[in-house]
Amino acid sequence: MQAMSEAASESTDAASPLKVYWQPGCSSCLKTKEFLTQHGVSFISVNVLADEQGFRELAALGLRRVPIVRRGHEWVDGQVIRDVARIAGIRLKAAALLPPAQLAERGDTVLRCALRLAATVPEDKLDTLFPNRPRSYRQITAHIIQIFEAFLDLVEHGRRVEHAIYEQDVPAGLTTGPQLIEFGEAVRQRLAHWWVSAALRVDFNVRADVYYGIQTLHEFLERTVWHAGQHTRQLQLGVERLGLRVDPPLTDRDLAGLPMPENVWDDQLRFD
């Protein structure tokens, strides 16, 4: 009787529509939605910041994070594309990753540019919020820095990457733009030192201890770089909307070989 019940449940799930729970400005949310669209998979789009029912549905699953892709009773974290492909019925071909050395180089380029961008924002504009999401220029800059900090804490100290790490606010005491830049430069130097002193002895095929699913350390390094790169693209878009310029800007060439989303902000919402 139990087997029949489970079979019925699986049949119901298979017939259920695919839902994607997301929020504006979320890099992995955008990548998940674009991946499904590119493969011709229809889905119900649920912006949890604007849809209270969708937020409650996530809470009923015991979840307070996005992106989440759900079909019936089954759900996966959208940060693992192969899991998204499985629940969506997509036959996925394994993508080649850039070598770790190139990823580290891309990461340094991204962080340097993020700090240049943040340095152009006047003090009285740092707490201006991005559209459709309560995150400021100061907060997105700190987030970019903390993405790399989370990677370093994992490889240097074995600290598991929890969701709360990516939800941190600006560290206490960083009340000015120069202090924020100093924080970022310290993390950039730390990343450079780790690469020179330890990375060549690291096995990048080992499993990374991250909250959202199975990833190798190589995959997590790639995600760290493109995740920070996508938010740096958003920061650059915001700086441009303030009528400011940064020289040199972040370019497609700087991000070549990374699995970047096509859009910078979102595929459904305009950045205004």
Judge if 251 and 126 occupy the same domain. Answer: yes
pLDDT per residue over 25-51, tens digit each? 999 999 999 999 999 999 999 999 999
Judge if 157 and 34 occupy the same domain. Answer: no
Judge if 228 and 117 occupy the same domain. Answer: yes
Contact 146, 191 (CB under 8 A): no
Least confident of 7-11, 151-155, 167-171: 7-11
Asked, for residue 270, whether it belongs to a domain, the answer is no
pLDDT per residue over 5-24, tens digit each? 444 445 446 678 999 999 99
Judge if 7 and 125 occupy the same domain. Answer: no
Tell me which residue of 94, 42, 48, 49 sits closest to 71, measured CA to CA: 42
Tell me which residue of 86, 78, 88, 65 sits closest to 17, measured CA to CA: 88
Judge if 55 and 84 occupy the same domain. Answer: yes
> Which two tokens mark 82?
């192969």
Judge if 82 and 109 occupy the same domain. Answer: no
Q: What is the CATH number of the domain that holds 59?
A: 3.40.30.10
SS (H, E, C) 214-252: CCEHHHHHHHHHHHHHHHHHHHHHHHHHCCCCCCCCCCC
SS (H, E, C) the chain: CHHHHHHHHHHHHHHCCEEEEECCCCHHHHHHHHHHHHCCCCCEEEECCCCHHHHHHHHHCCCCCCCEEEECCEEEECCCHHHHHHHHCCCCCCCCCCCHHHHHHHHHHHHHHHHHHHHHCCHHHCCCECCCCCCEHHHHHHHHHHHHHHHHHHHHHCCCECHHHHCCCCCCCCCCHHHHHHHHHHHHHHHHHHHHHCHHHCCCCCECCECCCCCEHHHHHHHHHHHHHHHHHHHHHHHHHCCCCCCCCCCCHHHCCCCCCCCCCCCCCCCC
> Which pTM value belongs to this model?
0.92
Judge if 215 and 126 occupy the same domain. Answer: yes
Judge if 106 and 232 occupy the same domain. Answer: yes
> What is the separation, in whole angstroms, between the first and last Cα of the chain?
55
Judge if 239 and 124 occupy the same domain. Answer: yes
pLDDT per residue over 177-218, tens digit each? 999 999 999 999 999 999 999 988 999 999 999 999 999 999
User: What is the CB-side half-sphere exposure of residue 164 using CA atoms within 13 A?
Assistant: 2
> Which two tokens mark 196?
């020179």
pLDDT per residue over 59-95, tens digit each? 999 999 999 999 999 999 999 999 999 999 999 988 8
Calculate the dihedral angle through the C-alpha atoms of 183, 218, 194, 198, rounding to the nearest 10 degrees.
Answer: 170
pLDDT at 95: 82
Counting the structural domains of the chain, the total is 2
**Phi and psi of 73, rounded to 5°?**
-90, -10
Cα(38)–Cα(31) distance, integer angstroms: 10
Domain that holds residue 73: 2-88
pLDDT per residue over 139-149, tens digit each? 999 999 999 99
Handedness of CA 37, 51, 84, 24 (dihedral sign): positive
